[in-house]
Amino acid sequence: MSEDTSTSIQPFRMHSGATLDLSTVGRICRRAYTPIVFMAGEIKSGKTTLIASIHDAFLFGLLGDFRFAGSDTLYAFEERAFESRAKEKGEEPKTPRTRYESGQEYFHLRLLEQASGRLFEILFADMSGEFYERALYSQSEVGEFKDLRRAQILLLLLDGTKLASHHSRQTVRANALQFLQRCKEEKLLPLDTKLQILISKWDAVPVDQRNGCLDFVRSRINESALGRQVDIIPIASRPGIGKKDEKLFGVRDIFPDWVKAVPTLLLASPLPPIEPQPLQRASLNRLRELPV
């Protein structure tokens, strides 16, 4: 008769692979320091496409000096990336956008740096475009972005094709500036949170209009207007068919900074060493002298 070994089997917890919310990212942040990259922007500005393209890059090898080493949201990554891949020849890739009901969804990556052999964790927070647009007209909606206070980097994506159009460029820039001002008023942007304005769909912006787009954004969204450093970076997460720009154009250069982002508090100089003091011998005679 075989021995019953059921009592020796240890339970094994498996992750569903779905996106995380603020209540579940704590277990990741507790096991290792984990930078949070918060992404905001209007509907179809390219946030989810950026997430899907980063996932796809690791399917084929390295992204910079980093190799994929695991994820607690692998199913969610694949779900976003599946529809963004071109299915048939001549078809433009499309990505399903984040639903309003989802609010902020967190994606997790564990990465191995080839040079040092160190493991890094990183979280991407994808905020639905409806949340962004409602925040422009309601101060109370901005208060829903409490997650932003925990982010090391805020990525604000602006649609490059709209910036290239004289009919929509003013609205896109004004909305971005208003969103940042509301975040500042609600104290959602600590000074050590890095602010990066990503002009998405750069491959679709005519070459002769690209410098004009950059100058147009910089003329109003800058350090003097916001009181903080602002980086404005053109990107092309997934260039359309026939485009010469490489995938993740502009992102490859700044991705290592996202992975290694560290709050100013942790970069501060260490406290001066404390000199050990000799122990004082207690005297029982002094205790006896105390009045009863």
Which residue is associated with the tokens 């309601």? 138
CA-to-CA distance for 145 and 47, rounded, in angstroms?
A: 16
194 forms bridges with which residues in the sheet?
153
pLDDT at 45: 94
Judge whether 5 lies within some domain: no
pLDDT at 100: 44
Judge whether 239 lies within some domain: yes
Are 228 and 222 in contact by the 8 Å Cβ rule? The answer is no
Judge whether 6 lies within some domain: no
pLDDT at 92: 53
DSSP per position, 68-126: EEE-S-HHHHHHHHHTTS--STTPPP--PPPPGGG-EEEEEEEEEETTT--EEEEEEEE
- Cβ within 8 Å of residue 101, ≥6 positions away: none
pTM of the prediction? 0.81
- For the chain, how many structural domains are there in total? 1
How is residue 154 annotated by DSSP? Answer: E
Judge whether 92 lies within some domain: yes
CA-to-CA distance for 17 and 289, rounded, in angstroms?
A: 70
Q: What is the pLDDT of residues 1-40, one digit of tens each?
A: 555 555 566 655 556 788 888 888 888 888 888 999 999 9
How far is the CA of 16 from the CAs of 29, 84, 88, in angstroms? 18, 22, 30
CA-to-CA distance for 182 and 189, rounded, in angstroms?
A: 10
Query: For each successive 10 residues of the chain (292 residues), what is the average pLDDT?
Result: 56 72 84 91 92 92 94 90 56 51 81 95 91 83 79 96 95 95 89 95 94 96 93 90 73 96 61 54 52 56
pLDDT at 246: 75
Query: Tokens representing 29?
Result: 């942040």
163: domain CATH number is 3.40.50.300
Which helix (DSSP H) or strand (DSSP E) does residue 60 occupy?
Answer: none
CA-to-CA distance for 85 and 247, rounded, in angstroms?
A: 12
Q: Is 122 exposed, middle or buried (0-12, 13-18, 19+ CB in 10 A)?
A: buried
pLDDT at 173: 97
Domain around 241: 16-261
Judge whether 83 lies within some domain: yes
41 forms bridges with which residues in the sheet?
157
Closest among 28, 56, 13 to 237, alpha carbons compared:
56
pLDDT at 271: 47
Judge whether 267 lies within some domain: no
Kindly give the pairing relationship between strand 119-127 and strand 153-159: unpaired
